[in-house]
Amino acid sequence: MFFSFGKIINSYLAARCLSVLGNTVSSHFALTPGQIAKLKDPIVSVGAGEIHFEAFSSCNSVYTRVKILGNGIDGEFLHSGATNIDFNNQTIRAFNNVLQTEKLILGVGNKEVHFVTDKQKMLEKKVTLSNRWIKGLGNVQVYLSEMELAHRLSKFEALQLFRTLPNTPTNSEYYLSKSGSNYVFSPVEKTASIKIGGIHRLNLMQRLIISIDSLHIYKHENQQSFAIILIFKEIQMTYLFSNSIYRGFSGEGKLLESLTDSVTSILINEVNNLFKTNEVFNPTLLSIENGIDPNKMNNFQSHLSGIGLLGFNLFDNNYFYRKLPFKLERLISFNPRLKNAQKIVANDEIIILEKMKNFVKASVKGTSDIYHTVIKMNESFQCTCNWFTTNENNRGVCKHILALTMIID
């Protein structure tokens, strides 16, 4: 089945963006060769008059999305849907060889994607969607939805800024700030600066800066990540970076608390039949039209995000729907913190020490029969375990807090 078939208006620019996306997939900032060999390539989604290509770097510390807008495609949208393909070296070379006067025809089906240029025809087959990517998709939109626009740069300002990027890998943290009329990267933190961990990762987009109309930089509320959107007339390219090359998005667990509440697969399937790929998902409107309590809708939205069925469009500040071939149970099955929390509850290994209206103190069994103290004060949690001491709640709650949330009202 074909989802769409047509000509890309700005073939040269689209080919460059897809080549950079392919290079991002093959980039590894904190992985061994053995780990790299197990990873797969871009997710392609068709619907709502747009085509999205989404991918992670091999180390999972970088997420990127190429969004080809409706005004950038001259073709037919026959069905909505998504597939996961493998960008091989031949395809990347073909993208790099597309000239400004050449065409690029794109055909997306449920089991394959066709790329046709003036010189070559490439066929990329569907491959298995990596578990790490599913978990990553369940976390990146949480970070994106928590961001705000910090800086909007012109092409000239972006070119000046990117000339100062270090060309070699560095473990030092850098900060982005505005000094007078100029934007600068500096190893010195200043007031209102944005932390840029693994700054050499920004070189992934270096060769696209000359073609942009503008560049938008977004900051996360507690500096856990940052995002950059490259704006072109017919294309938007989003980059989300974790705050360290050693911190992959698949290990975040940002939505674990929401997944502890029960949402039936029947309800998920009903929504999956209702929405089309890339269609805007408006939880407020859906709640009003169907008489659903807003709190329940927020929980349901978190579930859909947590299993990768929702993405977040940072530029337009809205969610969009994906149709991907997996179920809620698949995410839970390889999420160790959630599984361990469920085991703690099943074994009755939580002792409530104190419980008042806005306060709960409990002793929760951990590894090697060590009990940890968990405190809930209003909506905030603390735990004495190593995970909380190291990360607090910035990478999702620990298994002990998660277990306590399962049994308290």
Query: For 308, phi and psi rounded to 5 degrees?
Result: 85, 10
Instruction: Report the mean per-residue pLDDT for the chain.
Output: 85
Out of 236, 251, 266, pick the residue that ends a domain: 251
Predicted confidence at residue 327, as pLDDT, reads 56
CATH code, domain with 272: 1.10.10
Rounded mean pLDDT, 168-172: 82
CA angle 165, 204, 309 (to 5 degrees): 130
Q: Which of 385, 376, 379, 377 is nearest to 404 (CA)?
A: 376
| Structure confidence by residue, pLDDT tens digits, 127-167 | 887 777 777 887 788 888 889 999 999 999 999 999 989 87
Bridge partners, residue 225, by sequence: 242
Q: Which of 196, 234, 229, 199 is nearest to 214 (CA)?
A: 229
pLDDT tops 80 at residue 56: yes
C-alpha to C-alpha distance for 116 and 111, rounded to whole angstroms = 17
> Distance of CA 251 to CAs 4, 246, 388, Å?
34, 11, 15
C-alpha to C-alpha distance for 72 and 292, rounded to whole angstroms = 37
C-alpha to C-alpha distance for 58 and 36, rounded to whole angstroms = 6
Instruction: Please state, as a whole number, how many other Cβ atoms lie within 10 Å of the Cβ of residue 254.
Output: 23
Predicted confidence at residue 212, as pLDDT, reads 97
pLDDT tops 80 at residue 185: yes
pLDDT tops 80 at residue 257: no
Predicted confidence at residue 261, as pLDDT, reads 53
C-alpha to C-alpha distance for 392 and 388, rounded to whole angstroms = 4
pLDDT tops 80 at residue 352: yes
Q: Which of 408, 303, 388, 318 is nearest to 48 (CA)?
A: 318
In three-state secondary structure terms, 250 is helix
> Distance of CA 39 to CAs 1, 66, 220, 323, Å?
26, 19, 27, 21
Out of 326, 345, 380, pick the residue that ends a domain: 326
Instruction: Please state, as a whole number, how many other Cβ atoms lie within 10 Å of the Cβ of residue 85.
Output: 21
Bridge partners, residue 125, by sequence: 112
Report the Cα–Cα distance between both ends of the chain, in Å, rounded.
48
Q: Quickly state the pLDDT bin for 108 (edges 50, 70, 90).
A: very high
238/317 same-domain check: no
C-alpha to C-alpha distance for 343 and 329, rounded to whole angstroms = 16
In three-state secondary structure terms, 174 is strand
Quote the DSSP letter at residue 38. T
Tokens found for residue 30:
């904190």
Predicted confidence at residue 262, as pLDDT, reads 54
Rounded mean pLDDT, 224-246: 92
126/6 same-domain check: yes
148/48 same-domain check: yes
38 burial type by CB count under 10 A (0-12 exposed, 13-18 middle, 19+ buried): exposed
218/276 same-domain check: no
288/219 same-domain check: no
235/123 same-domain check: yes
Give the total residue count for the chain: 409
Tokens found for residue 67:
């969004």
149/261 same-domain check: no
pLDDT tops 70 at residue 94: yes
Distance between alpha carbon 167 and the CA centroid of its chain, in Å? 25
pLDDT tops 60 at residue 197: yes
Predicted confidence at residue 386, as pLDDT, reads 87
Out of 193, 222, 251, pick the residue that ends a domain: 251
Predicted confidence at residue 256, as pLDDT, reads 57
Q: Quickly state the pLDDT bin for 358 (edges 50, 70, 90).
A: confident
Enclosing domain of residue 291: 256-326
58/197 same-domain check: yes
The residue that leads in pLDDT, 378 or 232, is 232
Rounded mean pLDDT, 255-280: 68
Rounded mean pLDDT, 251-260: 55
CATH code, domain with 199: 3.70.10.10
Look up residue 304 and give its amino acid. L
Q: Quickly state the pLDDT bin for 333 (edges 50, 70, 90).
A: low
The residue that leads in pLDDT, 323 or 371, is 371
69/197 same-domain check: yes
pTM assigned to the model: 0.81
37/79 same-domain check: yes
Query: For 44, phi and psi rounded to 5 degrees?
Result: -115, 120
233/279 same-domain check: no
| Structure confidence by residue, pLDDT tens digits, 270-322 | 777 778 888 898 888 888 887 777 777 777 777 777 677 888 999 999 999 88
Q: Quickly state the pLDDT bin for 342 (edges 50, 70, 90).
A: confident
Across the beta sheet with 214-220, the strand order is 81-84, 43-47, 50-56, 62-68, 235-242, 225-231, 214-220, 147-154
C-alpha to C-alpha distance for 185 and 183, rounded to whole angstroms = 7
| Structure confidence by residue, pLDDT tens digits, 387-397 | 788 777 666 67
> Distance of CA 43 to CAs 15, 19, 56, 345, Å?
16, 14, 10, 36
C-alpha to C-alpha distance for 24 and 53, rounded to whole angstroms = 12
Domains in the chain: how many in total?
3
Predicted confidence at residue 131, as pLDDT, reads 72
Q: Which of 67, 66, 125, 119 is nearest to 94 (CA)?
A: 119
pLDDT tops 60 at residue 260: no
Predicted confidence at residue 330, as pLDDT, reads 59
Residues 6+ apart with CB under 8 A from 93: none
67/195 same-domain check: yes
Give the helix ranges, DSSP H, for 50-189: 89-96, 131-145, 155-162
